Every structure is written in C-alpha cells, then in structure tokens.
Structure 1
C-alpha cells in the first residue's frame, strides 16, 4: 500500500541485444520449465468460526490515522447462495461507538493474520473476494516479512497483493514496500477493472518467486517487478512472509467516510490459498532493460511524477531514479514501447497529441519508431499519429506528440539504467 501498515497489536524472455539505434533492449527467450504449482496451505472458510489454528485476530486501533477499532466481533460466515456447500468469511465494518483505552471510536471492523501459525518463502498466493464499496472503505490482502519483530517496518518488507479504496471504485492496487521505497513512494501499480468489484467475486493473485513478483486480477497479469525496478534499492523479498486480511475505515489514503457511505459494509472472502512450485523449480526472473530519457531541450530527465498523479510525462528532473525509468519493450524493426516504472503503464499518445503513461497493452498509439539523429540523439515518432515526441518548453516541459519534424525539442538521450 502507499502508507505504512503497522500492527494494531503486539502480535503482531530475455536476452539482451544491442540494436542499430544504439541502446540495449530485450528479445524473448524460451522460458525454462518450472515446477507445477501445488497447494500447500489454504482456508476455504466453510466452517462456522475463524480457524484459530490458522489465524490470529488483531485488536485495537489501526495505524495510518484509520478511524475504526479492530475487534474480534466483526466477522461472520455467510452461505453462498449459488452453492449450498460453500461459505464466505465476512469482515464487517460497522458504524457504532466503542470506547478503547478512554478513546471513543465511531467504527469497528476486524483484522486477521497468520503470524506464528503459517509463514513461507515464495509461492502463488490467491484470494477470491467481493469487496465493500463507498467512500472511506479500505480492504486489503497483503503480506509482511516474518522478521517484522526483529527489524521493523519497512525493512521487513511489505507485499500488497490487493488494496482498494472506495474513492476509486473501479481500481485495485498492488505495491511493494521496503527500505527507501515505502509509504507514498512504494513501488507498484494500479489496475482498472469493470465496475463489479463490489457486486461480484474476483480473484487477486501474486506469483512470488526468486527475484520476481507478478500481480494478477482474474488471471490477467498487470504488473511484474524485479530487483532491477528498485534502481539499486534493497530487495527484501527473499525470506518468509505471513498473510494479513483487514478492512479499514478511513485513514490517510482513502479519507473518511461521508454522507454517501452506507454501513455496514462487507468484505466477503471465499478462500485464501497458497501454492508452491513442485521441487522448488522456479521460473527465471525476466531480464529487464531500463532507460532514462534526457531531453535535449533543457537537459532534464523525463518523469512520471506519482505525487502529481495526472500520469503526464514532464522533462523537469536533474537526476533519474524510479519515476524516471522506462522499460524498453522491443517490437522489432526499430520500434519500441516504453513502460513507465512509476505505475507500470505504457506511454500512450492521445489523438490530440497529449501523452500519458496509462495503458496496460500496446497498440499503435503506444508504439514509437526510434530514429537516430545526426548528432547521435534519438527522436521518437509515434505510430498512432506519425508525430514526434516533444519536450515543449512553452508547456512547462510537458511532453506532447504533435511535431511533424524532429528538431531540438524532439531529441533525447537514452541513458541506460
């Protein structure tokens, strides 16, 4: 997630090839055989109470300026109306007053974890769930490093498999937090879904293997992260983790409920399952090729600034780190797509020439022809409108793709990362 989640209680394809346009890019390679995923743990939630051999309740206030009090009373089990043999775990957020240590809380909810009862290193972790809705709702399915008690957060690592905030009702998030990339600078992505998050069940999955983590919604891959994505920061996803389920109300990220929020709200979980590779035979981590774009117009690096949040590209940075990194996807014949590391989205040109990093797939509007100029710099011509990418100094260095020829403002250095 984008903000720290501390505990509420003490329990807490790809070979590199140098191409003629002068930088390194990737080509596909046959994936080595990996072991079959075999289920090693799970909870189908078909009983009548929380299985204490698998889960701990966390009680007390939540972190992140959340408004709820976590209790043991905000869970129940509900029968599947379409399958009489199936049930759901329901975490229920209520509007009710509770006093805890002299403080009055206006909301209650629940939070469960497997700390001390089940932890593991590497696996496929999946949940099928129907999420709550409304301003201020914040359900999550995530993991924390088992060495949390020894090294603290964020050094233990946090892997957010699924987070959702009610103010963006068609979007879920997957994020990594660790040393020097945590809170609002966590490294992750969002995934836009149909408006059925709160009316239908969906599956939320990560595949966590050595030096690579992949995120899926309903089997659709939307993000892949490796140590290379961290730009030299420490990868802390090589030790045991445990699982957490919770439904927060309010907090720094979602904001407080308002008069449109209906209570109670239910986070319905059909199952949580963990699989591991047979014989510990993992898929190799992909080799990634990152560049930074340095604009000839002002000698500044191009960024997609998460704090601004509009997903535009701007040439206004003196240095290049994660938000200035673009993964080059080689499309052949000098054509590339550029995947922004900020939110793991492709750079896309719109019909009016505006440029955003906001697409999960590649078409003509996400494809650029790389042209090497006489001075060695590169120009990027978009195939959607056949116009050049430009760092327009008259537009505060916001990038546009509306120039018929490549002059100084349309030229870039490709700096290998």
Structure 2
C-alpha cells in the first residue's frame, strides 16, 4: 500500500499533463505548490533558482518540482530511501554492498556517502533513490557533487532509472524508449574525466548501451562540480558545470517513461580505475552532495 507522500507525488506527476492547458506561469506555480505540499521541495532551496546552462541547454525558465539541500540532521525519508543491497560482481573474491550506514548528512549542509572496508575482502558504499516517492518524465536534473580525489576501485554517480521500463523488465525492442539507466555521471577514472552512459533492454543477454567519456577539468582537485541532464521527448543534453558534454538526439535512445533519481557511491573493484585494496577509507574517499534539484 502506498503512503500519502507517494500518492501525492504520483498525483503531482499525473496532474502535470493536465497543466499543459494552463498558461505557463500558472501551470508552473501549480506544480511547485503541489511539490511543496507533498514535501518534495526543500524549503531551503533558494527561490527562483534555475539550472546552470538555462538558455542554452534548456530553452526557457523551468519550475522546481523536487529538491534537497541536505541541510537536515538526517536523510529526509519523505524524499529518499537508503538501500541495503549486495552489489558484488565477478571480479576476484571480494564482496561489496550498498549499506544504509554509509549514507549520512555531514552537519555542514551536504549528503555524505562513504565507502568502507567491513572485513577482509568485504566493502560497502551507499545509495539513495526516490523510487516510489518521486519520479518524472522530461525536465532538468542537477546535482552539485564532490568527487573523491583518488577513486581507487570506487565511483560516485548520479543516475536515473525507470520503474516500469528497464527496471524491473520492460520490452526488449532495441530501444531505450520504454526506460533506460541514464548515467549523468559515473566518476570511474582517476583522471579528470567521467562516463556518461545509457543502458537499456535490461542487464542480461539483451543489454545494450551507448556511452561516451566526458572531459572534466578540475574534477578531482576542486571541491564541487555541477552535473546535469536536460531531458525532452527528443533530446538528452548532459552538462558539466553548465557546459554541454554530450547531446543525444537518436529517438531510439531517449526514454519516454517516468524515471527516478539515484545518488550512489560504490565499490567496483576490478572495473574502475585503481584497486579498492589501495584505498585509505577516510574522508578523502567520501562522496559529498551539496544539493539535488529537478525542474520541469
């Protein structure tokens, strides 16, 4: 049974289609009022704030529908769920998980997601997502993230996934239109670059992907950079500090279904740059998120 927050979020999203008949300012005001009533917009988000790149990647001002400034003493359960899930792969004998204990607010206005060693050959990171609480179709997502300076076998990520598309199944049709994993960033390199990838048709034998590597000046050496995705029915525009790093216009690659935001920091020893066996597991190896915001 869905809770009241979930039902309010779903009602907000369903209502957005009807709001298209209203004048733009009235529709935007109604969406923002509904988001605030549902507890999906953080009162600490500055009034009238717009995503970086507005006017280039996005054609006009948009309405804030979801935000978290991570200023609270704990993670806001009305917006997020912290996952407990094994993520071990086929590399060696190591095992690793998402663990709720790895997710915290740092008391200074940021979300912190740690990677830790649990025991010999056992490691944990963390993941939060808004599945069942908030999702959206088309709009702009933006997060301000600090990437650890040395990514020894672990990566920080901002991504989207679909409830009824790629997860839990969807149709294997050679397209991402019924849902995709949309990786806004996966910081899986020690150099100043990161992966921007679309995954679709599941994760099994039919899995397909389309990716590129974005150059990211100052990614590891400077605290906080902004990662964004402007998503329309015909285009995906990925941004780094407001600058476009990838544009997708192939209609087969643009999801047409609702997707929910995910923030994660995980161990992927044997695939990412470096080895988790060389990590120090102190504050240098923590992912920090200043804010996450979504506009439509």
Whether the aligned pair in 1 keeps the contact of 2:171 and 2:201 (CA below 8 Å) is: no
Task: Quote the residue 1:11 is aligned against.
Answer: none
Whether the aligned pair in 1 keeps the contact of 2:141 and 2:294 (CA below 8 Å) is: yes
TM-superposition CA deviations, 1:222-264 (whole Å, max 9, x none): 1110125xxxxx4450110011111111245316625542213
Q: Could you say what secondary structure the match of 1:149 adopts?
A: coil
Task: Quote the residue 1:298 is aligned against.
Answer: none
Tell me which protein shows more helix as a share of its residues.
2
Whether the aligned pair in 1 keeps the contact of 2:162 and 2:259 (CA below 8 Å) is: yes
Cα separation, 2, equivalents of 1:143 and 1:42 = 15
The CA deviation at 1:200 is 1.0
Whether the aligned pair in 1 keeps the contact of 2:144 and 2:291 (CA below 8 Å) is: yes
Cα separation, 2, equivalents of 1:272 and 1:75 = 15
Task: Quote the residue 1:271 is aligned against.
Answer: 291
Q: Could you say what secondary structure the match of 2:143 adopts?
A: strand
The CA deviation at 1:151 is 2.1
Whether the aligned pair in 2 keeps the contact of 1:249 and 1:257 (CA below 8 Å) is: no
**1:177/1:250 Cα in 2 relative to 1: closer, same or farther (>3 Å)?**
closer
TM-superposition CA deviations, 1:99-132 (whole Å, max 9, x none): xxxxx86212211111000000001000001012
Superposed counterparts of 1:17-416, under 5 Å: 34-62=59-87, 64-65=89-90, 67-80=95-108, 87-97=109-119, 106-132=122-148, 133-147=150-164, 148-151=167-170, 156-165=179-188, 167-179=189-201, 186-197=209-220, 199-227=222-250, 234-235=252-253, 237-251=255-269, 253-254=271-272, 257-258=275-276, 260-264=278-282, 265-276=285-296
TM-superposition CA deviations, 1:309-357 (whole Å, max 9, x none): xxxxxxxxxxxxxxxxxxxxxxxxxxxxxxxxxxxxxxxxxxxxxxxxx
Task: Quote the residue 2:52 is aligned against.
Answer: none
Q: How big is the alpha-carbon RMSD for the aligned residues of Structure 1 and Structure 2?
A: 2.9
Whether the aligned pair in 1 keeps the contact of 2:236 and 2:254 (CA below 8 Å) is: no
User: Structure 2: which 5+ runs fail to align?
Assistant: 1-55
Q: Could you say what secondary structure the match of 2:168 adopts?
A: helix
The CA deviation at 1:186 is 1.9
**1:152/1:92 Cα in 2 relative to 1: closer, same or farther (>3 Å)?**
farther
The CA deviation at 1:196 is 4.0
**1:64/1:42 Cα in 2 relative to 1: closer, same or farther (>3 Å)?**
farther
Whether the aligned pair in 2 keeps the contact of 1:250 and 1:256 (CA below 8 Å) is: no
Cα separation, 2, equivalents of 1:122 and 1:252 = 35
The CA deviation at 1:134 is 2.7
Structure possessing the higher relative contact order (Cα contacts under 8 Å, 6 or more residues apart):
2
Q: Could you say what secondary structure the match of 2:280 adopts?
A: coil
**1:63/1:121 Cα in 2 relative to 1: closer, same or farther (>3 Å)?**
farther
Query: What is the TM-score normalised by the length of structure 2?
Result: 0.68
Cα separation, 2, equivalents of 1:219 and 1:245 = 19
The CA deviation at 1:145 is 1.1
**1:238/1:199 Cα in 2 relative to 1: closer, same or farther (>3 Å)?**
same
Whether the aligned pair in 2 keeps the contact of 1:161 and 1:215 (CA below 8 Å) is: yes
Cα separation, 1, equivalents of 2:83 and 2:289 = 18
Q: Bigger radius of gyration, 1 or 2?
A: 1
The CA deviation at 1:169 is 2.6
**1:258/1:76 Cα in 2 relative to 1: closer, same or farther (>3 Å)?**
closer
Query: What is the TM-score normalised by the length of structure 1?
Result: 0.50
Whether the aligned pair in 2 keeps the contact of 1:138 and 1:254 (CA below 8 Å) is: yes
**1:198/1:53 Cα in 2 relative to 1: closer, same or farther (>3 Å)?**
farther
